[in-house]
Every structure is written in structure tokens, then in C-alpha cells.
Structure 1
């Protein structure tokens, strides 16, 4: 009788572990996943090696908004983290370090002192117009987005890889969970309204 009880206990533990593994796989595949920031392209907002959570379900029901930080498939083997700057139907231009959307100036408060050059980071450069990017568009087509790194002098983004499609976007990320001292929730819409 005791052997049967031990056997049943082991089977219960194995079932519980299998269920936990399957649930974890489902959550990671369809809902949330961890990602590690690789490189300086999102300085000063994100640091190299910051660990974040990607929300994979948000964009199944909503479209990306300006200044959202997104993770997208840059290639079959590499995902990038960048900030959404241009939305479908818009014309984007940066002149003298000022962002213009459809000819109107748009502030980028998340850049902070980087923009003025009063920091350890290089001042923003690389002025451009949408027409100069790969694809030679007048406006951003439906279902596509222009993304840039916050560290504009050291970022591989839409200026070199072109616009990204909504299908390439893995999800939105705004929660830094590691290192612990950098734990925070980034609010893109607050930045957009400042």
C-alpha cells in the first residue's frame, strides 16, 4: 500500500511539472517573453544588458502608438528594440535635431540632455527625410512604422533597414525588471504628452 501511495505521489508531481511547463511555454509563446537589451542604441532610456518583458498580446488588439518601445524581427535571427516615431500616413523628417511629423515639430522629451549635447552621449545627428530611407516613400504606408533608436548616432534603425511592418513587431516593451536598481515601467504616452 505504501509503495502504491509513493508511486501516486510521484505521478502527481510529474503531472504538475508537465502542466507548469506547458503553461509556461504557452505564456512565453503567445503572451509575454523576456528580452535582454543588446548594445547602446536606446541610451539613455535603456542600458545595455537591461532585462525587459515583451507584451506580445497588446498589438493583436491595438496598433502601435508614437513613442512606444517595440521589439521586432530585424532578421530571421535577430530582434531589435527601437522606438516608434512615424505612423502610417505620416511624413517624417529630422532637421537640425528636430523631429517633424507632417511638417509640425514634435518634442522628444525622452531624449533629455542627449539632444542638447549636455551629456556624455554624442548629440543627435543624421538629419533625414522619409524619402531618403530605403523604399523611397512619400508617406509611411498602411501597416508600416518608422522606428529609431534614442541614441541616434549609434543605432541601426529605419534609416538603414527601412520601415518595419506590423507583422515584424513581436510586441511592446516598457517594463525593466533587471538589474533590480533599474526596475521601472516606462510610459511612452506620458513622454508623448510632455
Structure 2
């Protein structure tokens, strides 16, 4: 019996040290070397933190671009999806309500022009990005709400497009928070 207990206790002690001390220290050290020093990529407007660029934010006013809906109401402490399948009646009703709301706020947009990402939540519920198409479809509403030229707003969207890594890894995307900060900076200058 002693032959089995001692190796088990030694292995348990080694794993406790590895998993409870060394691994967390390693991960923390890597985070400290990354952008934001492990505290997230803070986004600023006029020297004040207005959010985190790597976490989706809730924008519902017409003067802002809207991001992807969130099944967790943008709560970064508990990311996750709704876990409802595409044929679930509750899920379909939620998506239909999002479509109806979007079309009411964007009357110039036809239903078939509406990108799916603007009415369906991401898997994490915290996706900070939308496609350039999803941003451009909102230009008319944002320009009207801010009384700005649509071409100016569309150009701003195009400037905010982040290209794929190495030119081919991933899609083009727009960070909604950074786009809205750039929009507020234009409005402040006017």
C-alpha cells in the first residue's frame, strides 16, 4: 500500500505546484508583456477610459454604430452564447425582434440588405467587431442622427477597417468602439 501512496502524494504535490503556482505566474508574465499589460486594451476619448477595445460594448442610440447583439448583455464576467439552436422558436422570435428593431431605426435598409451579424449574437456574446458591410449599412442612420455628410461617415468607416493578418488570415473587420470614438472625435471638432 505504501508503495502506491507515496508516488501518488508526490505526483499530487508536483501538480499542485505546477498548476497552482508556476502556470498562473507564466500566464501573468505573458499578459504583462502584452498590450494593455494584462488589463485589457483600454480605449480613450479625451484622456478618459470609455471602454475596452477587445470587448463588445452596447450601443443603442441612432448616433452610434451598433455592434453584434449579445446573449449575455455584454457582461465580460460571464461570456457565452444563448445555446439555442437555429430552429428554436424563442431564438427565432429574438432574431425577428432584432430585425424589426433594426429596420425601424434604419428605414432605408431593406431586409435582404441586413447582414446577419447585426441580428445574431456571437458565440462569446462579446465580439467587438463587425464586418465593413455591417458598418456601411448603418451610415445613413448615423449621418442623419449627427447631421453629418454620409460620404464623410462612410470614409470614416473605410479608414477604420482592419485588414486580415498577413493579408489572408481572417476577414476584414471594424472595431465598433474604436469607430464610435473616431465618430465622437469628428463631432467634437465640428
Greater helix fraction, Structure 1 or Structure 2:
2
- In our comparison, the structure showing a higher alpha carbon Rg is 2
The two structures have a TM-score, normalised by structure 1, of 0.29
The two structures have a TM-score, normalised by structure 2, of 0.29
